[in-house]
């Protein structure tokens, strides 16, 4: 894609008070590449009884709405034979399908490579191009070498992967959308070295002279929030299934039989309906995220006594709609616009 075509795609405007570029000059553009993505996160097939039905509802809608591709943001299913049913449901979607590695997917005796093979995924981390955009999938489950004893759930992106990311961003001229299971903007439970990864994204923007990296989608946290850091949008996609409420608020609305088979059910605040999102980027440069709303099965976390900000962000049974205008003002290096003025 040449420079003129790239500029048509634009980059997302910064909503933050600070800017990566203290002195800017902009040029106006009006055309954008239409794109539709189907997003889901944290199905947790191996922990709950109704995951196949939740996934089937998502795939049914995706077949109807026909996004350019679908992607699940991790904690999908382990590579065990009994999970073939889930993969068969996933593979009913007739278009391109992509996967992000979650911390629960290689749990137990499984390896990340076994998960990749079972899913028929591109890799533990990879990138691909579609319709004038460059998509990057990161693996946030690598071991931190500073841990004397490996954590059960590592939250780290290695030097090797970060070097790959730098090169991948350097060698594309397309606007970039990133996917990672754990948040790059959640300091408490997200990627341990998230700041180092964010700096790679921000430096790629600075080197390009415009906001090449537009947006980062994550799962893992089972919440609903949106942050902007140095002009890059970080959007958390809520779980398809539940929020983890832990021992303090344990109470299950399910019967004895299900609780015996699924021992962790009582620690979850279950959503009545499956949650997912559709992202549309239209030709006028408007990004619209269409989420789904549900309710809690049984008592809500608030009714069980959970303070609204115990998990930093409120625990809610929905994915909120978002409307973000893609920037029609593109920063050009050296304070010049596309015509050199």
**What are 20's strand-pairing partners?**
none
| Cα–Cα distance measured from residue 24 to residue 337, given in angstroms and rounded to the nearest whole number | 10
Q: Could you tell me which residues come within 8 angstroms of residue 259 by beta carbon, excluding any fewer than 6 positions away?
A: 252, 265, 266
pLDDT confidence bin for 14, thresholds 50/70/90? very low
Contact indicator for 318, 224 with CB cutoff of 8 Å = yes
DSSP of 131-159, one letter per residue?
A: TTEEEEE---BPPPTT-SS--SS--B--H
Q: Model confidence over 277-335: pLDDT tens digits? A: 999 998 877 889 999 999 999 999 999 999 988 999 999 999 999 998 766 444 444 44
* CA 242 from centre of chain: 16
Task: Check residue 239 and report its DSSP letter.
Answer: P
Reading the block at residue 159, the tokens are 């030097």
Mean pLDDT over 16-32 rounds to: 39
> In which band, very low, low, confident or very high, does the pLDDT at 174 lie, cut at 50, 70 and 90?
confident
Q: Are 39 and 277 in contact (CB under 8 A)?
A: yes
Question: Which CATH architecture is the domain 3-335 placed in?
Answer: 4-Layer Sandwich (3.60)
> Is the pLDDT reported for residue 29 higher than 80?
no
Q: What pLDDT is recorded for position 31?
A: 64
d(CA 48, CA 254): 11
Q: Which residues pair with 268 in a beta bridge?
A: 244
Return the DSSP state at 268: E
* C-alpha pair distances (Å), 78 with each of 41, 81, 262: 14, 9, 16
Rounded CA-CA distance 53/289 in Å is 23
pTM across the whole model: 0.88
Please give the backbone phi and psi of residue 5, each rounded to the nearest 5 degrees, phi first.
Answer: -65, -40
Q: Report domain extents, the chain.
A: 3-335
* Phi and psi angles of residue 158, each rounded to the nearest 5 degrees, phi first: -70, 165
> Cα(99)–Cα(86) distance, rounded to whole angstroms?
13
pLDDT score, position 221: 97
Tokens 């980062």 map to which residue?
A: 216
Q: Extract the tokens encoding 297.
A: 């099965």
């Amino acid at each position: 894609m040449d420079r003129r075509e790239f500029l048509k795609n634009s980059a997302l405007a910064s909503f933050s008070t600070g800017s990566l570029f203290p002195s800017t000059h902009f040029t106006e553009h009006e055309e954008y590449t239409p794109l539709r993505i189907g997003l889901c996160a944290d199905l947790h097939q191996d922990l709950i009884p109704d995951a196949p039905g939740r996934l089937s509802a998502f795939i049914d809608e995706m077949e109807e709405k026909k996004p350019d591709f679908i992607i699940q943001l991790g904690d999908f299913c382990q590579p065990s034979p009994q999970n073939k049913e889930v993969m068969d449901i996933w593979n009913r979607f007739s278009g391109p399908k992509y996967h992000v590695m979650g911390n629960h997917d290689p749990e137990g005796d499984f390896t990340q490579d076994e998960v990749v093979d079972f899913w028929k995924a591109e890799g533990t981390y990879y990138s691909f191009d579609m319709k004038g955009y460059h998509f990057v999938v990161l693996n946030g489950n690598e071991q931190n070498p500073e841990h004397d004893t490996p954590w059960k759930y590592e939250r780290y992106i290695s030097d090797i992967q970060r070097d790959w990311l730098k090169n991948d961003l350097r060698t594309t001229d397309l606007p970039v959308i990133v996917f990672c299971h754990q948040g790059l903007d959640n300091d408490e439970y997200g990627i341990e070295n998230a700041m180092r990864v964010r700096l790679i994204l921000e430096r790629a923007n600075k080197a390009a002279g415009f906001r090449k990296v537009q947006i980062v989608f994550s799962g893992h946290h089972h919440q609903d929030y949106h942050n902007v850091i140095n002009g890059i949008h970080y959007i958390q996609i809520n779980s398809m299934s539940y929020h983890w409420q832990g021992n303090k608020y344990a109470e299950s609305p399910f019967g004895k039989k299900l609780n015996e088979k699924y021992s962790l059910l009582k620690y979850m605040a279950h959503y009545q309906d499956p949650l997912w999102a559709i992202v549309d980027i239209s030709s006028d440069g408007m990004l619209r995220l269409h989420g789904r709303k549900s309710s809690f099965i049984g008592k809500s976390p608030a009714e069980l006594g959970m303070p609204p900000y115990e998990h930093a962000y409120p625990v809610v049974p929905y994915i909120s709609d978002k409307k973000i205008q893609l920037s029609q003002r593109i920063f050009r290096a050296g304070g010049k616009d596309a015509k050199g003025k």
